[in-house]
A = this chain, B = another copy of it.
Amino acid sequence: MLSNSQIKHIVSLRQKKFRTEHQQFIVEGVKMVSELLNSEYKTIGIYGVEDFVKLLDYARSDRQPATEIITEIQLQKISNLETPNKVLAVARIPKKSGSGSGSGSAQLNNKLSLALDNISDPGNLGTIIRTAAWFGIENIICSENTVDAWNPKVVQATMGALFHVNIIYTDLENIVQEFNAKNIPVYATALDGKNIYESKLSPNGLIIIGSESHGVSQEILSLTEHKLFIPSFSKGAAESLNAAVAAGVVCAEFRRGR
Contact = CB atoms under 8 A, between A and B. Distances in A.
A133 B239 contact: yes
A150 to B, nearest CB: 19
Interface in A76-128: 123, 127
Of A161, A238, A242, A249, most B-chain CB atoms within 10 Å: A242
Interface stretch (A48-56, A176-184, A186-194, A228-236): A228-236
Which among A160, A235, A238, A245 has the highest number of chain B CB atoms within 10 Å?
A: A245
A231 B241 CA distance: 22
Contact of A130 (B231, B241, B248): B241
A35 interface: yes
Given A232-B136, A234-B133, A244 B241 contact: no
A240 B230 CA distance: 23
A164 B241 contact: no
A155 to B, nearest CB: 15
Contacts of A231: 255
B245 A136 contact: no
Given A161-B239, A248-B245, A256-B197, A233 B134 contact: yes
Contact of A242 (B236, B238, B244): B244
A215 to B, nearest CB: 14
A230 B251 CA distance: 12
Contacts of A151: none
Contacts of A134: 230, 232-234, 239-241
Given A35-B238, A161-B239, A239-B130, A257 B197 contact: yes
Contacts of A2: none
A197 B131 CA distance: 17
A127 to B, nearest CB: 5
Given A133-B234, A134-B232, A252-B252, A240 B123 contact: no
Given A133-B234, A160-B239, A245-B247, 6 more contacts: A135-B232, A159-B242, A233-B255, A242-B248, A244-B245, A252-B253
CB-based closest 3 A-B pairs: A136-B233, A245-B248, A197-B256
